[in-house]
Amino acid sequence: MRLPVLIALLACAGAAQAADMLKAGDPFPAWSLLDQTGATVTSRDLAGKTYLLWFYPKAMTPGCTAEGQGLRDHFTAFRSAGIEIIGVSFDDPKDNATFVQQQQFPFRLLSDRERTLAAAVGAADSRDQPVARRISYLVGPDGKVRHAYAAVSPATHAQQVLADVGEPAKP
């Protein structure tokens, strides 16, 4: 890995500043992004559903892999709670497809190459930021933020979200 990318990953992997993030009750902005297959996924497609949008810095890096594995390993509990899991990074769809295949993720990974959504929700300070901040949002069926996660631990994020919705964290 090149040193500038490593430095950027370390700098951006921390929590977003609370002022940058949406808060519970805020409407989540409309969005349209490509998934790992090249298909367009929009917030309109998810209207009436609850979904976890987890931003991760870079596909196939240790922390992002650990977080994705935790979500994968608790996928059944998320499904029982009626929550769709969707990852977002600045990676291109091809890299996300490789990540999904290597880790056997049962959920979609979206590419925010223009950083539009990330900048709107505090996962990036600008469209020039090299990687997304590790944050997540649980968005309710009404399109409003139910929970905003500024301090995400890759090892325990899945359990944290499930605890917040009252679902036992069983792999």
Please identify every residue annotated as catalytic.
64
**Residue written as token pair 């500038």:** 4
Three-state SS for 49-63 is: CEEEEEECCCCCCHH
Label residues 140-153 b or e (16+ Cβ within 10 Å = b): beebebbbbbbebe
C-beta of residue 154 within 8 angstroms of C-beta of residue 57 = no
Question: Beta partners for 54?
Answer: 87, 136
d(CA 110, CA 92): 8
Q: Where are the alpha helices (DSSP H) in the chain?
A: 3-12, 62-73, 75-80, 93-103, 116-121, 157-164
